[in-house]
Amino acid sequence: MQRQPDLDLIAGLRADLDDARYTVDGLEAAWGPVAAEALGRDDPEPALAELELRPWSPSGTLGALLVLGAPRSVPEVDRALPRTGARGAARLGLVSIEDGIVHATVDLRPYALADESGVASWWIASDPGEIALGGELPEDHVLGAGAASTTLAQILVPTGTGRVLDLGTGSGVQGLIAARSAGAVVATDLSERALDFAGFNAALNGVALDLRPGSLYDPVAGERFSRIITHPPFVKTPRGAAEVPGYTYRDGGFAGDGLVEAVVRGAAAHLAEGGIAQLLGNWEVHGDPAAARERVLDWAGPLDVWIVERDLLDPAQYAETWVRDGGAQPGTARFRSLVRAWLDDFAARGVTAIGAGYITLRAPRHGRTLRRFEHLDGAVGSGIGSAIEAAIAAHDLQRVLPDEALADTVLEVAPDVTEHRHYWPGDADPTVIELRQGTGFARVRRVDTVAAAVVGACDGELAIGSIVDAVARILDADPADTRTAVLPILRELWFEGFLTLR
């Protein structure tokens, strides 16, 4: 793979891929929805079988070669890539040719994304995956655009036009996403092979990335950014267990959660005022979950910090997940041996659980005011990045509003919120009242009758103080006591997006 490939060859390849309809939809059309679903389970056989039965197509040939790892003849590849040809693809490092047969040396596939900034699509080159290799990954494997890449992209607040740091870029996916609006994107990685892939992907997709080699923040010493985006290699590979592979893309060489801690602690020195850093991370629990939460929050130091824990896994779940990720097959002696090495390491260090989720950091203009850790393990909706941005804006407004000023604020129910009431058969009054969101974090919040009545009346016309007082009179309750009870609930509902500022 070439970090600075031949630009004429790249231009021809780009045109060939366009003409071949080598897109997400084009590939599904080439082998059909059933085969596409099987590929999601890492089963290539239905796709290979369908390609044998269906009429020839350039997208089918390219998908078979570059996604499934199935060899193809030189004439067939020349037909699918008329400008580039098999030999041009070989000069770019995409394939090798032996006795007239073309073998893929990389995985090159289309990737599409829809977010608040619009719809975008790219081609992403990376090392061949398990489907093509038919076994465990090599330790220097460079990962392509996987589920984690999509998850990180979905939680990002809008990038803006400032400078962005893509820390640990891998194959460059987040850098491509950020470059749609950023003034400049600096992409770093400890792995030179990863930077080679990132450089190739940037050139293929016509994107400018400032690629720099080095560990953590070393390549950007003294520089600050409006956004830092990173999916650090946070997997807790047992140290000193020779039989456990240390995959570059997921193992940063630190013990425990030390790498995530280093990324979070280092962000303060590289965020411009008001700048935001966002990452996916794992953290260890040693006995007391509350102590673990405080420990992770403390990593942020002077920064605002908001952590959303999406999973809390026991050590066995965690070990089995990542052993499978490396390609070891469940039920084999190899799989059991690797899992045992992980469990022995966790036991030796007193790890009782592993948390995983989203971390958002901000360099505040007026000192840290946000320090929040919450667990949300349900399904989420679209627009998480916008929900995070709106929550931070609500927090900033609220912190300068005492209860008296809050009572004069006009709020309205967000358009995606619905109310659900649950009754015991025959009862006139509900036993449970829930507010549900249809987008963002898709939260479900239980509220009492008073809070539900206040929220239901928030139509953007009356100040919430007037609404609370009116509800108190209807219920023959003391207005002052009702305000004391309800205003903190309304603050939280505003932060969480159930209510919005008129």
Domain harbouring 486, CATH code: 1.10.10
Tell me the per-residue pLDDT of 98-118, one tens digit each, with 9 for 90 and over.
Answer: 999 999 999 999 998 877 777
Tell me the per-residue pLDDT of 290-349, one tens digit each, with 9 for 90 and over.
Answer: 999 999 999 999 999 999 999 999 999 888 888 887 778 888 988 898 889 889 889 998
Q: Answer yes or no: do 234 and 347 share one domain.
A: yes
pLDDT of 366 reads 81
CB-CB contact of 194 with 183 (8 Å): no
Residue 118 resides in a domain:
no
pLDDT of 139 reads 67
End residue of a domain, out of 396, 431, 466? 396
CB-CB contact of 391 with 498 (8 Å): no
Residue 303 resides in a domain:
yes
Amino acid identity of 6? D
137 or 155: which leads in pLDDT: 155
Q: Answer yes or no: do 390 and 449 share one domain.
A: no
| 443 DSSP assignment | -
Q: Answer yes or no: do 425 and 480 share one domain.
A: yes
Q: Answer yes or no: do 459 and 423 share one domain.
A: yes
pLDDT of 133 reads 72
pLDDT of 124 reads 96
Radius of gyration over every alpha carbon of the chain, rounded to an integer in angstroms = 26
The span from the CA of 439 to the CA of 435, in Å, is: 13
pLDDT of 235 reads 73
pLDDT of 141 reads 75
- Sheet containing 417-422, strands listed edge to edge, beginning at the edge strand earlier in sequence: 417-422, 432-437, 444-447
The angle formed by the CA atoms of residues 471, 474 and 478, to the nearest 5 degrees, is 70
- Residue 160 — pLDDT band, cuts 50, 70, 90? confident
End residue of a domain, out of 375, 396, 417? 396
Q: Answer yes or no: do 188 and 291 share one domain.
A: yes
Question: Total domain count for the chain?
Answer: 3
Q: What is the mean pLDDT of the chain?
A: 91
- Residue 445 — pLDDT band, cuts 50, 70, 90? very high
What counts of helices (H) and strands (E) characterise the chain? Answer: 19, 18
**DSSP per position, 353-399:** EEEEEEEEEE--SSS---EEEEE--S---S-HHHHHHHHHHHHHHHT
Q: Answer yes or no: do 371 and 281 share one domain.
A: yes
pLDDT of 233 reads 76
Q: Coil, helix or strand for 345?
A: helix
Strands 72-73 and 101-104, bridge-based pairing: antiparallel
- Pick from 226, 162, 215: nearest CA to 188: 215
The span from the CA of 159 to the CA of 247, in Å, is: 30
pTM of the full structure: 0.90
Residue 282 resides in a domain:
yes
pLDDT of 248 reads 66
Tell me the per-residue pLDDT of 68-102, one tens digit each, with 9 for 90 and over.
Answer: 999 999 999 999 999 999 999 999 999 999 999 99
The span from the CA of 427 to the CA of 147, in Å, is: 46
Let me know if 477 is exposed, middle or buried by CB neighbors in 10 A (0-12, 13-18, 19+): middle
The span from the CA of 86 to the CA of 77, in Å, is: 6
Q: How many residues does the chain have?
A: 502
User: Can you tell me the mean pLDDT for 359-388?
Assistant: 91
Q: Answer yes or no: do 216 and 341 share one domain.
A: yes
Residue 346 resides in a domain:
yes
- Structure tokens of 81? 């890539």
Q: Answer yes or no: do 317 and 175 share one domain.
A: yes
pLDDT-above-90 percentage for the chain:
69
Q: Is the dihedral of CA 321, 325, 329, 334 positive or negative?
A: negative
Tell me which residue has tokens 């009545």: 453
- Residue 232 — pLDDT band, cuts 50, 70, 90? confident
Range in 33-42, 58-67, 478-487 with the lowest mean pLDDT = 33-42
Residue 126 resides in a domain:
no
pLDDT of 115 reads 75
Domain with 102 in it: 7-108
Amino acid identity of 294? E
Tell me the per-residue pLDDT of 383-442, one tens digit each, with 9 for 90 and over.
Answer: 899 999 999 999 999 988 998 899 999 999 999 999 999 999 988 889 999 999 999 999
Q: Residue 103: in which H helix or E strand, if any? A: strand 101-104
Q: Answer yes or no: do 252 and 206 share one domain.
A: yes
Q: Answer yes or no: do 91 and 163 share one domain.
A: no
pLDDT surpasses 90 at 242: no
What's the farthest any 2 CA atoms get from each other in the chain? Answer: 90
pLDDT of 34 reads 92
Residue 127 resides in a domain:
no
Residue 116 resides in a domain:
no
Residue 381 resides in a domain:
yes
The span from the CA of 88 to the CA of 310, in Å, is: 45
- Structure tokens of 268? 């303060």
pLDDT-above-70 percentage for the chain:
96
pLDDT of 128 reads 87
386-389, long-range: CB < 8 A, 24+ apart = 386/116, 386/157, 386/158, 386/440, 387/439, 387/440, 387/441, 387/497, 388/155, 388/157, 388/278, 388/306, 388/360, 389/157, 389/158
pLDDT of 321 reads 85
Q: Answer yes or no: do 339 and 467 share one domain.
A: no
End residue of a domain, out of 87, 108, 129? 108
Range in 240-244, 411-415, 455-459 with the lowest mean pLDDT = 240-244
Let me know if 75 is exposed, middle or buried by CB neighbors in 10 A (0-12, 13-18, 19+): exposed
Q: Answer yes or no: do 319 and 443 share one domain.
A: no
Q: Which range among 33-42, 204-213, 242-251 has the greatest average pLDDT?
A: 204-213
- Residue 239 — pLDDT band, cuts 50, 70, 90? low
Please enumerate in sequence order all residues whose Cβ is within 8 A of that of 111, keeping only pairs 6 or more positions apart, or say none: 24, 121, 122, 123, 124, 144, 145, 173
pLDDT surpasses 80 at 249: no
User: Can you tell me the mean pLDDT for 61-68?
Assistant: 95
